[in-house]
Structure 1
Amino acid sequence: MTGATGFVGKAVVQRMLADSKSQRVVVSVRRIGRQWPEQVVPCVTGDLEPSTDWSRALNGVAAVVHCAARVHIMHDTEADPLTAFRTVNVEGTLNLARQAAAAGVKRFVFISSVKVNGERTAPGTPFTEADAPNPQDAYGQSKHEAEQGLHRIAAETGMEVVIIRPPLVYGPGVKANFAALMRAVQRGWPLPLGAVHNQRSLVALDNLVDFTITCITHPQAANQTFLVSDGQDLSTTELVRGMAQAAGVPARMLSVPVWALQAGAKLLCKGDAVQRLCGNLQVDIAKARRLLGWVPPVSVEDGLRRAMGRQTEV
Structure 2
Amino acid sequence: MTGANGFVGRSLAARLATGGHRLRVAMRSRREVPSGAEVFIHGDLGEPVDWRGALTGIDVVVHCAARVHVMADTAKDPLAQFRRCNVDGTLQLARAAVAAGVRRFVFVSSIKVNGEATLPGQPFTADEAPAPTDPYGVSKLEAERGLFALAAETGLDVVVVRPVLVYGPGVKANFLSMMRWLDKGVPLPLGAIDNRRSLVAIDNLVDLLLTCIEHPRAAGQVFLVSDGDDLSTTRLLGKVAAALDRPARLIPLPSRLIAAAAALLGRRALGQRLCGSLQVDIGKTRELLDWTPPVSVDDALAKTAKHFLGHISR
- Does 2:91 correspond to 1:94? yes
Partner in structure 1 of residue 17 of structure 2: 17
Instruction: Please point out which of 107, 118, 122 is paired with 2:119.
Output: 122
Q: Secondary structure at the match of 1:31?
A: coil
| Partners of 1:246 and 1:310 within 8 A in 2 | no
Instruction: Please point out which of 181, 184, 197 is paired with 2:178.
Output: 181
| Partners of 1:64 and 1:107 within 8 A in 2 | yes
| Partners of 1:101 and 1:157 within 8 A in 2 | yes
| Partners of 1:166 and 1:229 within 8 A in 2 | yes
Extract unaligned runs of 5+ from structure 2. 309-314
Partner in structure 1 of residue 199 of structure 2: 202
Partner in structure 2 of residue 238 of structure 1: 235
Displacement after TM superposition at 1:154 (Å): 0.6
Taking every aligned residue pair, what percent have the same amino acid on both sides? Answer: 56
Taking the TM superposition and a 5 Å limit, the aligned residue runs for 1:273-288 are 273-288=270-285
Provide the rounded CA distance (Å) in 1 between the counterparts of 2:248 and 2:33.
41
Displacement after TM superposition at 1:49 (Å): 2.0
Q: Secondary structure at the match of 1:308?
A: helix
Provide the rounded CA distance (Å) in 1 between the counterparts of 2:13 and 2:33.
14
Partner in structure 2 of residue 47 of structure 1: 44
Task: Please tell me the root mean square deviation across aligned C-alpha atoms, in Å.
Answer: 1.2
Flag the 1:35–1:144 CA change in 2: closer, same or farther, 3 A.
closer
Displacement after TM superposition at 1:308 (Å): 1.3
Displacement after TM superposition at 1:24 (Å): 1.4
For residues 149-191 of structure 1, the C-alpha deviation after alignment (integer angstroms, 9 at most, x for no partner) is: 0001111111100000011000111111111111111111111
Partner in structure 1 of residue 312 of structure 2: none
TM-score of the superposed pair, with normalisation by structure 1: 0.96
| Partners of 1:196 and 1:257 within 8 A in 2 | yes
Partner in structure 2 of residue 8 of structure 1: 8
Taking the TM superposition and a 5 Å limit, the aligned residue runs for 1:160-171 are 160-171=157-168
Provide the rounded CA distance (Å) in 1 between the counterparts of 2:218 and 2:123.
21
Q: Secondary structure at the match of 2:306?
A: coil
Displacement after TM superposition at 1:136 (Å): 0.3
- One-letter amino acid matched to 1:9: G
Displacement after TM superposition at 1:34 (Å): 4.7
For residues 229-253 of structure 1, the C-alpha deviation after alignment (integer angstroms, 9 at most, x for no partner) is: 0000000000000101111111110
Taking the TM superposition and a 5 Å limit, the aligned residue runs for 1:212-251 are 212-251=209-248
Displacement after TM superposition at 1:264 (Å): 1.1
Provide the rounded CA distance (Å) in 2 between the counterparts of 1:34 and 1:280.
36
TM-score of the superposed pair, with normalisation by structure 2: 0.96
Q: Secondary structure at the match of 1:259?
A: helix
Displacement after TM superposition at 1:217 (Å): 0.3
Extract unaligned runs of 5+ from structure 1. none
Partner in structure 1 of residue 153 of structure 2: 156
Provide the rounded CA distance (Å) in 2 between the counterparts of 1:36 and 1:89.
23
Provide the rounded CA distance (Å) in 2 between the counterparts of 1:273 and 1:46.
33
Displacement after TM superposition at 1:36 (Å): 4.1
